[in-house]
Structure 1
Amino acid sequence: MELHPLTADDHELIELARRTVDANTDGPDGIYTMGAAVRGADGRTYAGINLYHFTGGPCAELVALGHARAAGARELTTIVAVGNENRGVQALCGRDRQILLDYHPTIRVILPGPGWALVTDLLPAAFPWHP
């Protein structure tokens, strides 16, 4: 899979996710906190934070998608997830990848590396479910 170079807008999105997780982290006591940010086709950005819970809780990426949807953004172009405690850009989990494929099949996913790939490249031969 080829990673494409990051743009200035991509770095801005990474910074939004980093600021979100830094401001809302649950701390270093073994709690895994993630921040995420998405960019709409109109350039507006939306952030989210995961809700840690022993049953799993929603991922930061899904919270950011919900934030964007609640604000009326239906077309998203880019997403990134950043870990707390300076862990930097993180890869998305399989559930998040599947949901992105189903709702936003052309979205760019910023990956550790640095670079980005289309969500379709992250789930080759995936089963597409169309809501």
Structure 2
Amino acid sequence: MNTLPRPVDHELVRAAAQVAATRCRGDNHTMAAAGRARDGRIITAVNAYHFTGGPCAELVLIGTAAAQGAYELETIVAVGDRDRGVVPPCGRCRQVLLDYYPATHVIVGSGDRLGTVSIGELLPESYVWADHQLDGE
């Protein structure tokens, strides 16, 4: 993370941390995510852990945002329960975020070293699903 193209959205980090602290209980929900929609709303979600590969908080956030009519997320962050702080998205989430929101930014890092990077910086030289879809199918 050499450059920080955008300032850190501390309100977003606080929102995810609050959800992680109050809604993540036990082994089923261990991560919270928060995203800022283009209209300024903050949308939150938690993961649904399951041994079969239940969805990460970032993926639940995508569905939650759509259910609330927010189809463009400008910035997202994930925070772990038990005061684990900001957690970067896994590889699957990076790919899905790139496909859904190629212009989104992600808050990464820890403590006073938080930074905001584009999803493309987290997944360089990536496969872009939309680029490989056939017209009319």
Q: TM-score, normalised by structure 1?
A: 0.89
Aligned pairs for 1:12-27 (under 5 A) are 12-27=11-26
Query: Hey, what's the Cα distance between the residues in 2 that align with 1:92 and 1:2?
Result: 18
Alpha-carbon deviation of 1:32? 6.9
Give the root-mean-square deviation of aligned CA atoms. 1.7
Q: Which has the larger radius of gyration?
A: 2
Q: Does 2:10 align with 1:11? A: yes
Structure 1 residues 84 and 3, CA, compared in 2 at 3 Å: closer, same or farther? Answer: farther
Q: Which residue of 2 aligns with 1:114?
A: 114
Q: Can you list the C-alpha shifts for 1:49-94, whole angstroms capped at 9, x where unaligned?
A: 0112111211001111111111111111000000000000011100
Letter in 1 for 2:58: E
Q: Does 2:72 align with 1:75? A: yes
Alpha-carbon deviation of 1:6? 3.2
Q: Can you list the C-alpha shifts for 1:87-113, whole angstroms capped at 9, x where unaligned?
A: 000111000000011110010100013
Partner SS, residue 62 of structure 2? helix
Query: Hey, what's the Cα distance between the residues in 1 that align with 2:34 and 2:47?
Result: 12
Query: Hey, what's the Cα distance between the residues in 2 that align with 1:3 and 1:80?
Result: 18
Aligned residues: 127
Unpaired stretches in structure 2, ≥5 consecutive residues: none
**Could you list the runs of 4 or more consecutive aligned residues of structure 1 that deviate by over 2 angstroms after TM superposition?**
none
Aligned pairs for 1:13-92 (under 5 A) are 13-27=12-26, 33-92=30-89
Q: Matched residues, percent identical?
A: 48
Query: Hey, what's the Cα distance between the residues in 1 that align with 2:50 and 2:17?
Result: 21
